[in-house]
Amino acid sequence: MDTPHSDNPASRRTVLAAAGAVVASMAIGAVPARAASARRRGLPGDGRLPLPDPIAQLTPRQRAGQRIIYSYPGLTPPDSLLTAIRSGEAAGVIFFGENITGTSQIAAVVAQLVEANESSPVKAPLLLMTDQEGGQVRRLPGAPELSEKQVGEASDPRSAARDAGTGAGQNLAGVGMNLNLAPVLDVYREPGDFSDSHQRSYGTDPADVGALGGAFVTAQQRTGVAATAKHFPGLGAASASANTDLGPVTLDQSLSELRDVDEAPYRAALDAHVKLVMLSWAVYPALDATHPAGLSSTIIQQELRGRLGFTGVTVTDALEAKALSSSYTTANRAVLAAGAGMDLLLCSARDIGQGQAATDGLIDALADGTLSGDSFDAATQRIAALRASLTGVGTTN
């Protein structure tokens, strides 16, 4: 989704900690846990808890499906998507402008998806999401109307950021959605560069970007709608023509610049308990010269989780992005991303077959040992905790 078409890591950890119990709530016939009983900060070690036995009740396709976010073309969800949801084989759905004509129309669609999910053996809310950043990047009409750049230039930027976060959350919750793929935490360098050209950056000062992003996250999550900080470790140094949707992008900042400028706003977002972080598809040679961030265990596991201490849910950018090698099939991309440490896989090509192919790839990789079952289920725990925390948001009660 690149275009409009602490020193004490434990103090920043955002995982919803009774994850073992929450995974049990996803098993066949169980009841979803409430968010208040599922949230704790500062899990020891890597934040994992022992996986309870009920996960074994999931079929291989259900187990893999807990990692998949689907998309669909047009205004009407196809029967194949409804079937996957009813069967417990989908974690959620992302909506785009082509899916939406107005709030009443999309609210009816969301209600249809929620109804399908009520028949699922996996008793947890669907993740129902869109990109409601503000300004040019809004899938729903209405708030937040100000772009991030306009927020940063407001007479009272923090108040404007809080208003934007509140407006985004209320808008999404009003139609039954429970997750926003916002805010963008890019620190842009030059006027007119990639992040600035679409007004998707609060500014050029990492402290300001962090403060405003944190204010947005806090305000939005108070409405019950989960926020997503993106695109780690940052696209602020990208030129106007550098777009990972359209082709490979390499950003050559030094390690000190990456950490002091581009990653700095994420500290504030983690302090605000942001529930998700989306990884970039750019390559950052200072951290990993070989892999895009979303396929890099170094960037995901060592930089984001290890150095910054994030224990929430990671989500890929669009799995079909052209920044990834054309030799990779959807199944390859899904397996590589999951193996590197991505939790949710965003199948956003508006093609149900894409989500099905990603699911097939995960099933095969688990069966032949390409993917570790323990690591896979740890990711499922994090997703389960997130989903349980959103019980009652919008029309999901």
- pLDDT single digits (tens) 186-202: 999 999 999 999 999 99
Which phi and psi angles does 69 have, rounded to 5°?
A: -105, 120
CA dist 312 → 68, 110, 162, 380 (Å): 17, 25, 22, 11
Give the model's confidence band at 19: pLDDT under 50 very low, under 70 low, under 90 confident, else very high: very low
With a cut of 50, say whether residue 376 has pLDDT above it. yes
3 vs 83 pLDDT, higher one? 83
pLDDT at 252 (0 to 100): 97
pLDDT confidence tier of residue 56, bands split at 50, 70 and 90: low
d(CA 153, CA 160): 9
Q: Provide the 8-state DSSP code for 187.
A: B
Average pLDDT, the chain: 88
CB 256 within 8 A of CB 233: no
Nearest to 85 by CA among 372, 373, 264, 352: 352
pLDDT exceeds 60 at position 6: no
Question: pTM of the entire structure?
Answer: 0.88
SS3 content of the chain, % helix, strand, coil (to 5): 45, 10, 45
Spatial distance between the Cα atoms of 331 and 136, rounded to a whole number of angstroms? 32
Q: Beta 276-279 vs 228-232: how paired, if at all? A: parallel
Decide if pLDDT at 392 tops 90.
Answer: no
- Distance of alpha carbon 270 from alpha carbon 272, whole angstroms: 5
Q: Examine the pLDDT at 4 and tell me if it is beyond 60.
A: no
Question: What average pLDDT does this structure show over 322-332?
Answer: 96
Q: How confident is the model at residue 3 (pLDDT cuts 50, 70, 90)?
A: low
In tens, the pLDDT along 115-129 reads 999 999 998 999 999
Token pair listed for 52: 């309870």
C-alpha span between 70 and 187 (Å, rounded): 30
Q: What pLDDT is stored for residue 393 in this prediction? A: 77
Q: Which two tokens stand for residue 326?
A: 């054309």
pLDDT attached to residue 173: 97
pLDDT above 60 (res 53): no
- Would the pLDDT of 52 be above 50? no
Question: CA-CA distance, 216 to 338, in Å (whole number)?
Answer: 29
CA-angle at 227, arms to 147 and 18, nearest 5°: 170
Share of the chain above pLDDT 90, in %: 83
The answer, yes or no, to whether residue 5 has pLDDT greater than 50, is: no
Query: 63 by DSSP, 3-state: which?
Result: helix
What is the rounded average pLDDT of the residues 374-380?
95
Q: pLDDT confidence of 161, banded at 50, 70, 90?
A: very high
Confidence of residue 219 (pLDDT cuts 50, 70, 90): very high
Query: How many helices, marked H, and strands, marked E, lie in the chain?
Result: 15, 12
Q: How far is the C-alpha of 140 from the C-alpha of 109, rounded, in Å? A: 13
Taking residues 237-261, report their average pLDDT: 96
Q: Using an 8 Å Cβ cutoff, are 93 and 72 in contact?
A: yes
Structure tokens at 24: 């049990």
From 111, 187, 112, 175, select the one nearest 139 (Cα to Cα): 175
Give the pLDDT mean for 380-394.
Answer: 90
CB 366 within 8 A of CB 60: yes
Give me the pLDDT at residue 292, please.
Answer: 98
Comparing 28-37, 111-120, 214-223, 224-233, which segment has the lowest mean pLDDT?
28-37
Bridge-based pairing of strands 288-292 and 283-284 is: antiparallel
pLDDT at 332 > cutoff 50: yes
Q: Identify the H or E element spanning 147.
A: none
Amino acid at 370: T
pLDDT mean over 384-395? 85
> Which band of pLDDT confidence, cut at 50, 70 and 90, is reported for residue 35?
very low
Please give the DSSP secondary-structure letter assigned to residue 51: P
Q: Which of the 8 DSSP states describes residue 92?
A: E
CA distance 362 to 385: 21
Rounded distance between C-alpha atoms, residue 257 and residue 255, angstroms:
5
Question: Mapping DSSP to helix (H, G, I), strand (E, B) and coil, where does residue 232 land?
Answer: strand
| Weakest mean pLDDT among 15-29, 180-194, 196-210 | 15-29
Distance CA 280, CA 395 (A): 31
